[in-house]
Structure 1
Amino acid sequence: MSDADTNTRSEVIAGLVPSAPRRMFGTAVLYGLGALLFYLVITQPPEGLHLVFLLVLIGAVSIYGGYKMWDVTGHMIELTEEELRLSDGRVIFRMDDVVKVDRSFFAFKPSNGFLVTLKTPYPRQWAPGLWWRFGKRVGVGGLTSGAEGKLMADTLTAMIATRDGIVDLDGIR
């Protein structure tokens, strides 16, 4: 494989990045929930120690989720001919493993996003506000723009149809 082939295959076809206001609002909601739960424990603690522990735990998880959301949403999801990856190089899934893309109303997908079913299971991973992966299912979207998510899902669907021989996009050129 030549350098030209490598550059062509790793060329970004579509990108998905959360806008700054959505990013700030999403993290502010999680930080606010955590702070509110800590405030509740301090000012009006429940009678049972187990309830205090539960509120502190949920508050800590909310604050950690806000931190993780801020960190992860700083990256862009990139669609190439080979893979769906983050801008830092982490691979979400390889194109060879994709079975179908689902944007239907009843799909268990993130807001403004889509669901991808894979042939082989990948390790569980979660990037709040951007994507998640659980076994053979990957949800992409969340704090992202609906139009960008639709464009990426449609592009991915066309790539899969071309790969499977359902549509011949080379004949269009």
Structure 2
Amino acid sequence: MQDEIVAQAGASAGRRIIGVGIVAALGLLLLYVAVTAAMGAVWQVLLVAVGALSLWAAQVMWQATALTLHLTRDELRDSAGTLLARTEDIVTVDRGAFAFKPSNGFMLKTVDKQPRGWKPGIWWRVGRRVAIGGVIPSAEAKFMADMITAMKAGQI
């Protein structure tokens, strides 16, 4: 039963709405300030660009937070089928208070470099590091990190 899901993590509806709402509110606020405040044209263009980028990021985050993460004995992947890391390639799991990781999440270090990827609010991957977290509840992320640690120790 290698395809059996050992742990699963995903964003709840409330976390999705709050996370995306904050990013969208930032974009709308920047656009409002660009339109209503008296400032130079360079600043207005900059505010409009950053506001539009924030609204785009909110839309991408809304789509990404619909995904869930699935941990099996062989791999960690999202519900869209994107492979994040194979369990045999994971070297360390870091979820300490001072670790460079997303909010409520953890960081994986792999043996080999992975292709870059990013699903805002769920995961990102650069080089040998895979970060899980953001809008994922801390209890689900902690359980997943503990399961990966136990699998690496041969306890599961």
TM range (shorter): over 0.9
- How far apart are 1:46 and its partner, in Å? 2.1
How far apart are 1:142 and its partner, in Å? Answer: 0.8
- CA–CA distance in structure 1, aligned partners of residues 117 and 46 of structure 2: 24
The aligned length equals: 156
Take 1:159 and 1:58, find their aligned partners in 2: how far apart are those partners? Answer: 43
What residue is the counterpart of 2:59 in the other structure? 67
1:96 aligned residue:
88
Question: How far apart in 1 are the matches of 2:45 and 2:117?
Answer: 27
Q: What residue is the counterpart of 1:32 in the other structure?
A: 25
- Residues 1:15 and 2:8 aligned together: yes
Aligned partners of 1:94 and 1:28: how far apart in 2? 33
* Counterpart in the other structure of 1:5: none
Distance 1:147 1:104 in 2: 14
- Partners of 1:62 and 1:107 in 2: how far apart? 26
2:35–2:44 contact (8 Å) kept in structure 1: no
- Using the TM superposition, give the Cα deviation of residue 53 of structure 1 relative to its aligned residue in structure 2, in angstroms: 2.1
2:118 maps to: 126
Residues 83-120 of structure 1: CA deviation (Å, up to 9, x unaligned): 11011211111112110000111100111110100111
- Give 4+ residue runs of structure 1 displaced > 2 Å after superposition: none
Instruction: Read off the aligned partner of 1:146 and give its amino acid letter.
Output: S
Q: Which runs of 5+ in 2 are unaligned?
A: none
Residue 138 of structure 2, aligned match among 142, 146, 158:
146
Unaligned runs of 5+ in 1: 1-7, 163-168
- Which is higher, the Rg of structure 1 or of structure 2? 1
Pick 1 or 2: higher relative contact order, CA cutoff 8 A, min separation 6.
2
Q: TM-score, normalised by structure 2?
A: 0.95
Q: Distance in 2 between matches of 1:92 and 1:54?
A: 35
Task: Tell me how far 1:50 sits from its aligned partner.
Answer: 2.5
Q: Offset at 1:45?
A: 4.4
Taking the aligned partners of 1:9 and 1:45, their CA distance within structure 2 comes to 62
